[in-house]
Amino acid sequence: MNENCKLAAVGDNCIDFYDQTGDAYPGGNPVNVAVYTVRLGGTASYTGVVGEDDYGALMRRAIAGKGVDVSHLRTEPGTTALSHVSIVDGDRVFGDYEEGVMASFRLTDEDIDFLCAHDLVVSGLWGMIAPDLPRLKARGVKVAFDFADKPEDPVVAQALPFVDYAFFSNDADGDAALEDFLRNVTAKGPKVAVVTRGEKGSLAYDGEHFYRGDIVPCQVVDTMGAGDSFIAGFLYGLMRGQDIPACMALGAQNSSVTLGYAGAW
């Protein structure tokens, strides 16, 4: 890959609604990765669906305003997905999730063609596209997928054989347990598997070697989007031909920027 590569983010978007303040921020894992990729100087698109409500208009306007291609962001009758969020000791805690029109989101043949015109596709656990991953894999496009902190979710087993770069988050288990976990993940298909570990940094495995990444110390205002920032930085480095340690370092640097303000972006 090279610096001119295009990233396609696809799947869930949601409004992060902060119950304590009433603030509403556009977000969602794939959306965040697309926005952060452009922030780093890359090119990205977002494919998904919003509702015919004020939040849907806000989402479309905000994503486009960050320089992300929204030509395949559909608007459908219903409400835009919304996550209730609280801040506890600087950390974001998710409450109820109102899925809205995302509940019925499915990729069209045109969406598949559009995604396959990119060099790398990224999605996540709640993106509703796991059934379509075999079609993307058959077309030869590279796929990155964020499984968050849900290694037992049924989507994991369904998606892993068709994923090139797998991301998880786990700040509880020790090195030995995580190394075994990453070995098992790569045995099921991915070329590289990565675990982000909060203040403990990150751990990556490429089927042969383990790599450990450090954090970039910073003042934490809000952890919303920190993991997505790491993924965006890692993938941006990858698309520019950097090795895994350099990708991990870029991910950590990108996360430190996001941690310094409220909301994902």
Does the pLDDT at position 46 exceed 60? yes
Does the pLDDT at position 153 exceed 80? yes
pTM equals: 0.90
Does the pLDDT at position 259 exceed 90? no
Q: Which CATH architecture has domain 6-258?
A: 3-Layer(aba) Sandwich (3.40)
Q: What are 65-104's pLDDT values in tens digits?
A: 999 999 999 999 999 999 998 877 766 688 889 999 999 9
Paired residues of 45 in beta bridges: 8, 69
Contact 255, 227 (CB under 8 A): yes
Burial class (CB in 10 A: 0-12, 13-18, 19+), 71: exposed
Does the pLDDT at position 57 exceed 80? yes
Domain edges within the chain: 6-258
Predicted pLDDT at 89: 72
Binned at pLDDT 50, 70 and 90, residue 263 comes out as: low
Neighbours of 195 (CB within 10 A): 25
Binned at pLDDT 50, 70 and 90, residue 265 comes out as: low
